[in-house]
Amino acid sequence: MSHQIPSDVALAMAVHSMKGIYAFLLGSGVSSAAGIPTGWEILLDLIRKVGAAHGKDCEPDPAKWHEETYGHAPNYSDLLEDLAGCNTERQQLLRTYFEPDDEERERGLKQPTAAHRAIADLIARGYVRVVITTNFDRLMEKALDDVGVVPTVIARPEDLDGAMPLTHSRCTIVKPNGDYMDARIRNTPEELSNYDAEIADLLKRILNEFGLIVCGLSADYDKALVDLLIRYPNTKFSSFWTARSQLGVNAKSVVEARRARVIEIQNANQFFGDLKERVNALGDLLSQEEITAKIAGQRVRRILTERESKIKLHEIVYRQTEVLHASLFNDSLPSMNDLESNELLDEIKRLEEETSVLLSMLVEGCYWDEEQEYTEIWVKCIERLANPPVTESQYVQYSELRWYPVVLSLYAAGISAVAHGNYETLLRLVVEPVAYDLNEEKPVFFEIAYQFARFDALLKKKIADFENRDTPLAHLVFECLRAPLERFLHRREEYARCFARFEFISALEIAHKRRELEGDNARIYGHNGYWTWGKIRGRFIINEIHNEASNKGKHWLPLTAGFLNGDPKEYSLIAVKLMNQRIE
């Protein structure tokens, strides 16, 4: 069955919309990143200890050695009893596998992972109440303790006596294979082939009454659990099965029986981190457009701050860019001349909404891209939006409205870069995106300057409220970008300064490029922008920037980043002409 909504998005929406309905089923893959050994690895190490205690070498196959030596397959409880005579000694022995020593603690091992903490966050917010785990460790309990949640833990039949009902408990953790502090944990194939009747009944109830999200489970060893998953498929709520690689035979059987949706993941930390962000974003926002934009921004931020794959970032930005590009270059986008005032405002609003997801990505990306490792992605995004698809005819006419999202994208990226002092990123945004027009190519910013004059004339003509406004397009852009940039620029005055700084510094570089192309007689001018809105405010902001540049000389950050080839004299020549043009 094919699904139009991606499975990871469908999962987030299901968890958000049906609080407490979904249960997590966690396998060893969730704890492996913490350095916790699997049950089988512990069993083999215990056999090695038994062998060493008897002066025997049990390698290369400890399990086979045990069976040949003792005449039966290794049993976890028997091994513990052989190695440690009393319960206290057994617990101390087991702690070495599950609790960190000083060195491990320093390395962050045997402690809750990002996956455990994301799960704990979802539980604390009430989205999930039941966790089944085949793991013996207590990482989930520790993560919950850190967010103030005390779970009901059921690892033995006697734990069910007096336990809070599932629907009334804030969180219930079911450990069908046991807990490491209990010597009766299930570990060997024989032990994993059946459960105590009380535990099996509890699992049946959960599988019948809750939707299921499975992560870190191979299904190759837990025979009793796999049998229950297949026999009690639950048709009321969906199942989701995450996988890092191709499913095994048993996993495929479970997926088919439960009609589960398979989600390909990199690892548990990434999956649960994504799920937490999506669900929490859904809870924070009201409209689908805002939801998508916030999720997109959070995902870009995580990739950058956690140094994840550049390919992954490119893919998510590319997909969103292509969605917007397809919307801009089609016959349904009308010409501004063909629209009445209210129709034009509606179309502008629609374009702002369609661009919102990409704007969120660009704002986060250009703010956090401190080493310019990902700048090419932002550059290519803007260049793609500025250029129509290749067609057989070179004279296809497209609506001038297509430039509005390009302006929004370039401004959002540029202002965000300025807000964090990423002037190397800003320089590349200004000079590298190229607009192709027949056999000519020029910086997109050259075209932007022309489009500002064109838009201003049409907006004044079409919309009465803009008739007496000097810079209507800059006004629209200023108001539209206030929300996506508010995370970094809270105060309106702070936002206004960065907005004007972006425009003025960009105008300096574009004038410099014109001088390089046309010589010393090139006309130096800047497009109508925020910095020209009001003589007093405009003069104040530009004078502030000019005084800063004059005082710092060649050490002014934009110059050290490469603007104007780092030449203070070039700055002085161009800045004075721009200021004389703008500040009258």
| Domain boundary residue, one of 251, 270, 289 | 270
pLDDT given for residue 95 in this prediction: 77
Q: Give the model's confidence band at 308: pLDDT under 50 very low, under 70 low, under 90 confident, else very high.
A: low
Pair (417, 550) in one structural domain = no
Nearest to 98 by CA among 188, 151, 154, 31: 31
Pair (24, 49) in one structural domain = no
Pair (480, 468) in one structural domain = yes
Distance CA 212, CA 257 (A): 13
Q: Give the model's confidence band at 88: pLDDT under 50 very low, under 70 low, under 90 confident, else very high.
A: low
Check pLDDT > 70 for residue 141. Answer: yes
In a domain, 221, yes or no: yes
Check pLDDT > 60 for residue 464. Answer: yes
Token digits of residue 424: 């190397």
In a domain, 299, yes or no: no
Pair (440, 577) in one structural domain = no
Distance CA 506, CA 500 (A): 10
pLDDT given for residue 291 in this prediction: 52
Check pLDDT > 80 for residue 244. Answer: yes
pLDDT 10s digits, 25-57: 999 889 888 888 876 787 788 888 888 888 888
Distance CA 479, CA 530 (A): 11
pLDDT given for residue 188 in this prediction: 60
- The more confidently predicted of residues 411 and 10 is 411
Per-residue CA distances from 371 to 374, 410, 500, 581 (Å): 8, 19, 24, 35
Pair (425, 456) in one structural domain = yes
Distance CA 423, CA 417 (A): 7
pLDDT given for residue 250 in this prediction: 92
DSSP string for 107-173? TTTTS--HHHHHHHHHHHTTSEEEEEE---S-HHHHHHHHTT---EEE-SGGGGTTPPPTTTSS-EE
| Domain boundary residue, one of 249, 270, 291 | 270
Pair (475, 360) in one structural domain = yes
pLDDT given for residue 505 in this prediction: 93
Q: How many angstroms separate the first and last alpha carbons of the chain?
A: 67
Q: Can you tell me the mean pLDDT for 256-270?
A: 92
In a domain, 278, yes or no: no
Percent of the chain scoring above 70 in pLDDT: 88
Pair (508, 382) in one structural domain = no
In a domain, 280, yes or no: no
Pair (364, 220) in one structural domain = no
pLDDT given for residue 53 in this prediction: 80
Radius of gyration of the chain (CA): 31
In a domain, 283, yes or no: no
Q: Give the residue numbers spanning the domain of 524.
A: 491-584
In a domain, 281, yes or no: no
pLDDT given for residue 128 in this prediction: 96
Q: Can you tell me the mean pLDDT for 287-312?
A: 68
pLDDT 10s digits, 485-506: 998 999 988 998 899 899 999 9
In a domain, 301, yes or no: no
Nearest to 406 by CA among 397, 414, 417: 414
Residue with tokens 């995370």: 487
Residue with tokens 């000083």: 102
pLDDT 10s digits, 17-31: 788 999 999 998 898
pLDDT given for residue 215 in this prediction: 96
Pair (100, 154) in one structural domain = no
| Domain boundary residue, one of 455, 489, 523 | 489
Q: What is the pTM of this model?
A: 0.54
In a domain, 339, yes or no: yes
List, in order, residues 6 or more apart from 132 with CB less than 8 Å away. Answer: 23, 24, 25, 26, 173, 174, 175, 176, 203, 206
What does pLDDT average to over the chain?
85
Check pLDDT > 70 for residue 91. Answer: no
pLDDT 10s digits, 93-124: 777 787 888 888 888 888 999 999 999 999 99
Pair (148, 218) in one structural domain = yes
Pair (414, 483) in one structural domain = yes
Distance CA 352, CA 350 (A): 5
pLDDT given for residue 364 in this prediction: 93
Are the beta carbons of 303 and 273 closer than 8 angstroms? no
pLDDT 10s digits, 509-530: 998 988 888 887 877 777 777 7
List, in order, residues 6 or more apart from 379 with CB less than 8 Å away. Answer: 428, 429, 432, 433
CATH code: domain of residue 21: 3.40.50.1220
Pair (15, 46) in one structural domain = no
Check pLDDT > 60 for residue 392. Answer: no
Domain count, the chain: 4
pLDDT 10s digits, 341-384: 999 999 999 999 999 999 999 999 999 988 888 899 999 999 99
